[in-house]
Amino acid sequence: ELKAKLRQVMEDESRTKSEREVQQQLEEALVKSNQIPLPPSLIEAQVEHMLERLRAQILGPKGQWSDKQLDDLRQKLRPKAEAELRLSYLLPAIAEKEKIKALDEDIQAEFERNLSAAQDEDRKQEIQKMFKERRDAISDMIRDRKTMDWIREKATMVEG
């Protein structure tokens, strides 16, 4: 029984990794074939946002990068920032063209999925508050996910 459970966990991890790789390849292809011009100031703002997230994750709230580290990271993060920005324009445009929307049922299902994963009452209350305050952002996230699913389906059909 333990071997079967271990095998299932390994298969699930492998499937998840494969799905992430496919997602990444689709995003890269989408961005590569749609080189939307972006204002440099927008790119720089995205790079700074990414730097801040990275700093908080790696160095903690009071940590700081050296000037050299900052310059190196800015250079390395710039292509990813551009790709993220392009996707942030492309996915809503595709969703609009294809009439892909996050329905109330989708938002409710996402809410229930998050609630069921919550470990305690405090976390459940945080989730309820987040869904109440950030409904539009959550709806956009679901719409983008559904759009990527639609793209994946179309890409698979073309491959076959």
Q: List pLDDT tens digits, range 35-81.
A: 899 999 999 999 999 999 998 888 887 888 889 999 999 999 999 99
The whole-model pTM stands at 0.75
Residues 1 and 44 in one domain: no
Q: What is the pLDDT of residue 99?
A: 98
Residue 24, sorted as left (phi over 0), alpha (psi -120 to 50) or beta, turns out to be alpha
Residues 91 and 145 in one domain: no
Q: What is the pLDDT of residue 157?
A: 54
Residues 141 and 107 in one domain: yes
| Residue range of the domain that includes 10 | 1-33
Residues 119 and 144 in one domain: yes
User: Does residue 29 carry a pLDDT above 60?
Assistant: yes
Q: List pLDDT tens digits, range 74-100.
A: 999 999 999 999 999 999 999 999 999
Residues 86 and 138 in one domain: no
Residues 57 and 27 in one domain: no
Residues 24 and 49 in one domain: no
Q: What span, in angstroms and rounded, lies between the C-alpha atoms of 63 and 59?
A: 5
User: Does residue 158 carry a pLDDT above 70?
Assistant: no
Q: What span, in angstroms and rounded, lies between the C-alpha atoms of 122 and 124?
A: 5
Residues 24 and 39 in one domain: no
Residues 114 and 88 in one domain: no
**Which long-range contacts does 79-86 make (Cβ < 8 Å, 24+ apart)?**
80/50, 81/43, 81/46, 81/47, 81/50, 82/31, 82/38, 82/43, 82/46, 83/27, 83/28, 83/31, 84/46, 84/50, 85/38, 85/42, 85/43, 85/46, 86/31, 86/34, 86/35, 86/36, 86/38
Helices (H), 33-134: 40-58, 67-98, 104-117, 121-133
Mean pLDDT estimate for the chain: 91
Q: What is the pLDDT of residue 160?
A: 46
Residues 110 and 160 in one domain: yes
- Domain termination site, one of 72, 99, 126: 99
Range in 11-15, 49-53, 136-140 with the lowest mean pLDDT: 11-15
Residues 18 and 57 in one domain: no
Structure tokens at 49: 């946002």
What pLDDT band is residue 14 in, cutting at 50, 70 and 90?
confident
Residues 114 and 91 in one domain: no
The pLDDT of 93-119, averaged and rounded, is 94
Percent of the chain that is helix, strand, coil (3-state, to 5): 85, 0, 15
Domain count, the chain: 3
